[in-house]
Amino acid sequence: MAHFLITGANGHLGRRLIPTLLPQHKVTAVVRSARAAAQLEEFKNDIQLAQVSYTDASGLKALMHEVDCVVHLVGIIKATAEADRKSTRLNSSHLVISYAVFCLKKK
């Protein structure tokens, strides 16, 4: 049984990926808000749900130590200006990928 961490788990792809992984695998679904978490209500008894900002380096790093595989599905992160959206998405992707590589190498 592998342990998957899915960022953007409440999105279109994440909500379809979760049932394909369960029950054969453990799933940690990462979302940014309570509103996003509510979109995963149907899976609440079968997954671990983590609410963390995708720019929270220590929060992401802590989650990655527990998993075997990271599926990064963050799409659009709301921001006021186009430049802010691109910067936030790029920075969050960089954090997720960096910590995934760091943590998975240690296993």
Q: If you write DSSP's letter for every residue of 25-66 in order, what string do you get?
A: SEEEEEESSHHHHHTTGGGTTTSEEEE--TT-HHHHHHHHTT
Reply yes or no: is the peptide bond before residue 23 cis, omega within 30 of 0. yes
Tens of pLDDT, residue by residue over 15-72, are 999 999 999 999 999 998 999 999 999 999 999 999 998 778 888 888 988 888 888 8
Whole-model pTM: value is 0.77
Q: How confident is the model at residue 72, as a pLDDT?
A: 84
Q: Is the pLDDT of residue 105 over 60?
A: no
